[in-house]
Protein backbone atom coordinates (compact mmCIF):
# COMPACT_ATOMS: atom_id res chain seq x y z
CA UNK A 1 0.00 0.00 0.00
CA UNK A 2 1.40 3.39 -1.04
CA UNK A 3 2.52 5.69 1.74
CA UNK A 4 2.42 9.53 1.67
CA UNK A 5 5.71 11.02 0.53
CA UNK A 6 7.65 13.68 2.40
CA UNK A 7 6.27 16.26 -0.04
CA UNK A 8 2.74 15.10 0.71
CA UNK A 9 2.99 15.58 4.46
CA UNK A 10 4.65 19.02 4.45
CA UNK A 11 4.11 22.12 2.33
CA UNK A 12 7.07 24.53 2.44
CA UNK A 13 6.28 27.90 3.97
CA UNK A 14 8.34 30.88 5.09
CA UNK A 15 9.60 30.69 8.67
CA UNK A 16 7.98 33.13 11.08
CA UNK A 17 11.01 33.45 13.39
CA UNK A 18 13.95 33.79 10.99
CA UNK A 19 14.87 35.89 7.95
CA UNK A 20 18.09 37.31 6.48
CA UNK A 21 18.72 41.05 6.04
CA UNK A 22 21.85 43.20 6.00
CA UNK A 23 20.65 46.15 8.08
CA UNK A 24 23.71 47.55 9.88
CA UNK A 25 23.57 48.25 13.61
CA UNK A 26 23.48 51.94 14.49
CA UNK A 27 26.63 51.67 16.63
CA UNK A 28 28.71 50.83 13.55
CA UNK A 29 28.22 54.41 12.35
CA UNK A 30 30.60 56.76 14.17
CA UNK A 31 29.85 60.20 12.70
CA UNK A 32 27.49 61.29 15.46
CA UNK A 33 29.53 59.49 18.14
CA UNK A 34 32.63 61.47 17.18
CA UNK A 35 31.14 64.88 16.41
CA UNK A 36 28.64 66.18 19.01
CA UNK A 37 25.18 66.93 17.68
CA UNK A 38 23.94 70.46 18.34
CA UNK A 39 20.36 71.39 17.34
CA UNK A 40 19.84 74.76 15.66
CA UNK A 41 16.63 76.60 14.87
CA UNK A 42 17.54 77.82 11.38
CA UNK A 43 19.05 76.11 8.36
CA UNK A 44 22.02 78.47 8.26
CA UNK A 45 23.62 80.86 10.71
CA UNK A 46 26.97 82.10 11.98
CA UNK A 47 28.94 81.55 15.16
CA UNK A 48 31.67 83.65 16.79
CA UNK A 49 35.31 82.57 16.83
CA UNK A 50 37.68 84.04 19.41
CA UNK A 51 41.17 84.52 18.00
CA UNK A 52 43.36 81.72 19.39
CA UNK A 53 46.59 83.73 19.34
CA UNK A 54 44.96 86.47 21.40
CA UNK A 55 43.38 84.21 24.02
CA UNK A 56 46.64 82.24 24.50
CA UNK A 57 48.76 85.35 25.05
CA UNK A 58 49.44 87.23 28.31
CA UNK A 59 49.94 90.99 28.57
CA UNK A 60 49.84 91.07 32.37
CA UNK A 61 52.65 93.20 33.89
CA UNK A 62 53.58 94.35 37.34
CA UNK A 63 51.45 97.23 38.54
CA UNK A 64 52.89 100.00 40.73
CA UNK A 65 50.74 101.63 43.44
CA UNK A 66 48.42 104.31 42.08
CA UNK A 67 48.85 103.28 38.43
CA UNK A 68 46.34 101.81 36.00
CA UNK A 69 46.30 98.17 34.98
CA UNK A 70 47.62 97.26 31.56
CA UNK A 71 44.80 97.12 29.01
CA UNK A 72 44.37 94.50 26.33
CA UNK A 73 41.75 93.44 23.79
CA UNK A 74 40.89 90.41 21.72
CA UNK A 75 39.76 89.70 18.17
CA UNK A 76 36.58 88.06 16.93
CA UNK A 77 35.68 86.51 13.60
CA UNK A 78 32.76 84.34 12.50
CA UNK A 79 32.20 80.92 10.99
CA UNK A 80 29.06 79.69 9.31
CA UNK A 81 27.08 76.50 8.74
CA UNK A 82 24.39 75.34 6.33
CA UNK A 83 22.30 72.26 7.06
CA UNK A 84 21.57 70.48 3.79
CA UNK A 85 18.35 68.45 3.81
CA UNK A 86 18.44 64.78 2.80
CA UNK A 87 15.35 62.63 2.34
CA UNK A 88 14.62 59.06 1.28
CA UNK A 89 11.29 57.23 1.17
CA UNK A 90 9.92 53.74 0.60
CA UNK A 91 6.33 53.05 -0.44
CA UNK A 92 4.42 50.21 1.18
CA UNK A 93 1.68 48.91 -1.09
CA UNK A 94 -1.62 48.17 0.60
CA UNK A 95 -1.91 44.93 -1.34
CA UNK A 96 1.66 43.86 -0.56
CA UNK A 97 1.16 44.56 3.12
CA UNK A 98 -2.11 42.63 3.22
CA UNK A 99 -0.61 39.62 1.43
CA UNK A 100 2.71 39.44 3.30
CA UNK A 101 3.72 36.32 5.21
CA UNK A 102 3.85 36.53 9.03
CA UNK A 103 7.65 36.86 9.05
CA UNK A 104 7.43 40.10 7.08
CA UNK A 105 6.45 43.57 8.23
CA UNK A 106 6.71 45.79 5.12
CA UNK A 107 6.15 49.01 7.07
CA UNK A 108 8.86 48.25 9.65
CA UNK A 109 11.17 47.07 6.85
CA UNK A 110 10.65 50.38 5.04
CA UNK A 111 11.54 52.30 8.22
CA UNK A 112 14.72 50.27 8.72
CA UNK A 113 15.66 50.67 5.05
CA UNK A 114 15.25 54.46 4.99
CA UNK A 115 16.92 54.98 8.38
CA UNK A 116 19.89 52.87 7.27
CA UNK A 117 20.10 54.88 4.06
CA UNK A 118 20.25 58.18 5.96
CA UNK A 119 22.78 56.87 8.49
CA UNK A 120 24.98 55.75 5.62
CA UNK A 121 24.66 59.15 3.91
CA UNK A 122 25.70 60.88 7.12
CA UNK A 123 28.72 58.59 7.49
CA UNK A 124 29.80 59.29 3.90
CA UNK A 125 29.45 63.05 4.43
CA UNK A 126 31.36 62.84 7.71
CA UNK A 127 34.18 61.00 5.95
CA UNK A 128 34.42 63.79 3.38
CA UNK A 129 34.26 66.52 6.03
CA UNK A 130 36.69 65.10 8.58
CA UNK A 131 38.39 61.85 7.59
CA UNK A 132 40.67 62.98 4.79
CA UNK A 133 43.87 64.91 4.18
CA UNK A 134 44.13 68.72 3.96
CA UNK A 135 41.40 69.24 6.57
CA UNK A 136 43.32 69.29 9.84
CA UNK A 137 46.32 71.42 10.74
CA UNK A 138 48.56 68.35 10.98
CA UNK A 139 48.46 65.54 8.42
CA UNK A 140 50.97 62.67 8.43
CA UNK A 141 51.12 59.91 5.84
CA UNK A 142 52.10 56.29 6.30
CA UNK A 143 55.50 55.38 4.80
CA UNK A 144 56.26 59.08 4.14
CA UNK A 145 56.04 60.38 7.73
CA UNK A 146 55.79 57.22 9.82
CA UNK A 147 56.14 53.45 9.44
CA UNK A 148 52.74 51.93 8.75
CA UNK A 149 51.26 50.27 11.80
CA UNK A 150 50.89 46.80 10.26
CA UNK A 151 54.72 46.67 10.15
CA UNK A 152 56.05 45.09 13.39
CA UNK A 153 58.92 47.60 13.38
CA UNK A 154 56.52 50.55 13.56
CA UNK A 155 55.93 52.54 16.75
CA UNK A 156 52.22 53.45 16.81
CA UNK A 157 52.17 54.43 20.49
CA UNK A 158 54.99 56.89 19.84
CA UNK A 159 53.30 58.17 16.67
CA UNK A 160 50.00 58.77 18.43
CA UNK A 161 51.75 60.28 21.45
CA UNK A 162 53.44 62.73 19.08
CA UNK A 163 49.99 63.72 17.86
CA UNK A 164 48.78 64.20 21.43
CA UNK A 165 51.77 66.39 22.23
CA UNK A 166 51.40 68.38 19.00
CA UNK A 167 47.77 69.29 19.66
CA UNK A 168 48.49 70.05 23.30
CA UNK A 169 51.54 72.18 22.49
CA UNK A 170 49.63 74.24 19.91
CA UNK A 171 46.33 74.71 21.72
CA UNK A 172 46.60 73.88 25.42
CA UNK A 173 43.97 71.14 24.94
CA UNK A 174 44.79 67.44 25.19
CA UNK A 175 43.06 65.19 22.64
CA UNK A 176 40.31 63.04 24.12
CA UNK A 177 39.24 60.78 21.22
CA UNK A 178 40.98 58.58 18.67
CA UNK A 179 38.92 57.47 15.66
CA UNK A 180 40.24 54.45 13.77
CA UNK A 181 39.15 52.95 10.50
CA UNK A 182 38.17 49.33 11.04
CA UNK A 183 41.13 48.02 9.05
CA UNK A 184 43.49 50.13 11.17
CA UNK A 185 42.09 48.72 14.40
CA UNK A 186 42.32 45.17 13.04
CA UNK A 187 46.09 45.63 12.63
CA UNK A 188 46.75 47.89 15.61
CA UNK A 189 45.17 45.66 18.25
CA UNK A 190 47.66 42.90 17.38
CA UNK A 191 50.74 45.15 17.23
CA UNK A 192 53.59 43.71 19.35
CA UNK A 193 54.20 47.06 21.12
CA UNK A 194 50.60 47.11 22.33
CA UNK A 195 50.38 43.40 23.15
CA UNK A 196 53.59 43.73 25.20
CA UNK A 197 51.92 46.31 27.45
CA UNK A 198 48.97 44.09 28.36
CA UNK A 199 48.93 42.83 31.95
CA UNK A 200 50.30 39.32 32.26
CA UNK A 201 47.00 38.09 33.67
CA UNK A 202 44.88 39.37 30.77
CA UNK A 203 44.07 37.78 27.40
CA UNK A 204 46.74 38.62 24.82
CA UNK A 205 44.50 40.85 22.73
CA UNK A 206 43.97 44.58 23.12
CA UNK A 207 40.59 46.25 23.56
CA UNK A 208 39.55 49.79 22.74
CA UNK A 209 39.33 50.62 26.43
CA UNK A 210 42.85 49.30 27.00
CA UNK A 211 44.23 51.44 24.18
CA UNK A 212 42.42 54.50 25.50
CA UNK A 213 43.90 53.96 28.96
CA UNK A 214 47.34 53.38 27.47
CA UNK A 215 47.16 56.67 25.57
CA UNK A 216 45.47 58.53 28.45
CA UNK A 217 42.51 59.61 26.32
CA UNK A 218 38.80 59.26 27.00
CA UNK A 219 37.76 56.95 24.20
CA UNK A 220 38.74 55.06 21.08
CA UNK A 221 36.13 54.73 18.33
CA UNK A 222 36.26 52.21 15.50
CA UNK A 223 34.39 52.92 12.26
CA UNK A 224 32.85 49.66 11.05
CA UNK A 225 30.09 50.72 8.68
CA UNK A 226 30.25 49.48 5.09
CA UNK A 227 28.70 50.79 1.90
CA UNK A 228 27.90 49.46 -1.54
CA UNK A 229 29.14 52.28 -3.78
CA UNK A 230 27.75 50.73 -6.99
CA UNK A 231 24.62 51.99 -8.66
CA UNK A 232 21.39 49.99 -8.41
CA UNK A 233 21.58 46.86 -10.54
CA UNK A 234 25.36 47.04 -11.02
CA UNK A 235 27.82 44.57 -9.53
CA UNK A 236 28.11 45.32 -5.83
CA UNK A 237 31.24 47.15 -4.62
CA UNK A 238 31.15 46.89 -0.83
CA UNK A 239 33.80 48.36 1.43
CA UNK A 240 34.40 50.23 4.68
CA UNK A 241 33.30 53.85 4.52
CA UNK A 242 36.08 55.42 6.57
CA UNK A 243 39.07 53.56 5.16
CA UNK A 244 42.56 52.92 6.47
CA UNK A 245 43.07 56.20 8.32
CA UNK A 246 43.03 57.48 11.90
CA UNK A 247 42.03 60.80 13.45
CA UNK A 248 43.13 62.09 16.84
CA UNK A 249 41.24 65.11 18.19
CA UNK A 250 39.89 67.06 21.09
CA UNK A 251 36.10 67.09 20.85
CA UNK A 252 34.01 68.78 23.52
CA UNK A 253 31.06 66.42 24.16
CA UNK A 254 28.90 69.38 25.26
CA UNK A 255 30.06 72.37 23.23
CA UNK A 256 28.53 75.72 24.06
CA UNK A 257 29.57 79.33 24.49
CA UNK A 258 33.34 79.90 24.62
CA UNK A 259 34.14 76.24 24.04
CA UNK A 260 36.90 74.73 21.96
CA UNK A 261 36.03 71.67 19.93
CA UNK A 262 37.41 70.15 16.75
CA UNK A 263 33.94 69.56 15.28
CA UNK A 264 30.26 70.13 15.69
CA UNK A 265 27.38 68.52 13.87
CA UNK A 266 24.76 71.19 13.34
CA UNK A 267 21.28 69.70 12.91
CA UNK A 268 18.26 71.73 11.83
CA UNK A 269 15.82 70.94 14.62
CA UNK A 270 13.67 73.88 13.55
CA UNK A 271 12.69 71.91 10.43
CA UNK A 272 12.62 68.37 11.71
CA UNK A 273 11.44 68.90 15.26
CA UNK A 274 14.14 66.42 16.26
CA UNK A 275 17.17 67.18 18.41
CA UNK A 276 19.27 64.42 16.81
CA UNK A 277 18.75 65.67 13.26
CA UNK A 278 16.79 62.67 11.94
CA UNK A 279 13.04 62.19 11.53
CA UNK A 280 11.03 59.24 10.21
CA UNK A 281 7.41 59.87 9.31
CA UNK A 282 4.47 57.96 7.82
CA UNK A 283 2.26 59.37 5.07
CA UNK A 284 -0.68 57.90 3.18
CA UNK A 285 -0.31 58.10 -0.62
CA UNK A 286 -3.70 56.88 -1.74
CA UNK A 287 -3.36 57.47 -5.49
CA UNK A 288 -0.28 55.20 -5.62
CA UNK A 289 -1.83 52.33 -3.66
CA UNK A 290 0.77 53.01 -1.01
CA UNK A 291 -0.46 52.96 2.59
CA UNK A 292 1.81 54.29 3.91
CA UNK A 293 4.88 55.95 2.46
CA UNK A 294 7.66 55.79 5.02
CA UNK A 295 10.08 58.72 4.74
CA UNK A 296 13.23 59.52 6.69
CA UNK A 297 14.68 63.04 6.63
CA UNK A 298 17.89 64.55 7.96
CA UNK A 299 19.21 68.11 7.93
CA UNK A 300 22.81 68.47 9.05
CA UNK A 301 26.23 70.01 8.50
CA UNK A 302 29.42 68.34 9.74
CA UNK A 303 31.59 71.34 10.52
CA UNK A 304 35.25 71.45 11.48
CA UNK A 305 35.28 74.32 13.97
CA UNK A 306 38.95 74.15 15.07
CA UNK A 307 41.31 72.42 12.64
CA UNK A 308 44.22 72.82 15.05
CA UNK A 309 42.48 70.38 17.42
CA UNK A 310 42.86 67.47 14.98
CA UNK A 311 45.80 65.30 13.91
CA UNK A 312 45.21 63.03 10.91
CA UNK A 313 47.04 59.79 10.09
CA UNK A 314 46.56 58.97 6.39
CA UNK A 315 47.17 55.43 5.05
CA UNK A 316 48.05 54.20 8.54
CA UNK A 317 48.09 50.56 7.40
CA UNK A 318 48.31 48.56 4.20
pLDDT value at position 290? Answer: 66
**Does residue 149 contact residue 188 with C-beta atoms inside 8 Å?**
yes
Q: Kindly state whether residue 18 falls inside one of the protein's structural domains.
A: no
Beta bridge partners of residue 76, listed in sequence order: 50
pLDDT under 70 in the chain at which residues? Answer: 1, 290
Indicate the pairing of strand 84-93 with strand 290-304. Answer: antiparallel
Residue 157 in any domain: the answer is yes
Residue 279 lies in a domain: yes
Could you list the beta-strand ranges (E) of the chain.
37-40, 44-50, 76-82, 84-93, 138-141, 177-181, 219-223, 226-228, 238-240, 246-249, 263-268, 278-285, 290-304, 310-314
Q: Look at residue 8 and tell me if it is in a domain.
A: no
Residue 291's pLDDT is 75
Q: Which domain holds residue 169?
A: 23-55+74-314
pTM of the model: 0.90
Residue pair 207/194 in contact (Cβ under 8 Å)? The answer is no
Domain count, the chain: 1
Alpha-carbon separation of residue 301 from 32, 36, 281 (angstroms): 11, 11, 21
User: Tell me, what's the pLDDT at 1?
Assistant: 63
pLDDT tens-digit series, residues 215-229: 999 999 999 999 999
Residue 94 falls within a domain, yes or no? yes
267: number of CA atoms within 13 Å, CB side? 20
Q: Is residue 104 part of a domain?
A: yes
CATH number of the domain bearing residue 224: 3.90.1690.10
2 within some domain: no
| Residue 5 counted as domain residue | no
Amino acid sequence: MAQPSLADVHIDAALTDFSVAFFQDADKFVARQFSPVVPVGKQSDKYFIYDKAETLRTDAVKRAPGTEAAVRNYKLSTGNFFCDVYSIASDVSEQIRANSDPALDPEEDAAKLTMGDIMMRMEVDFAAAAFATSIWDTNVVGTTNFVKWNDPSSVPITDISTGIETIGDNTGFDPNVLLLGSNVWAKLRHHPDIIARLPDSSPRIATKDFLANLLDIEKVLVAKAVRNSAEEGATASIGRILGENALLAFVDPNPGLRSATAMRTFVWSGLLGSTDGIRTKRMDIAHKDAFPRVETDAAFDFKVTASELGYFFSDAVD
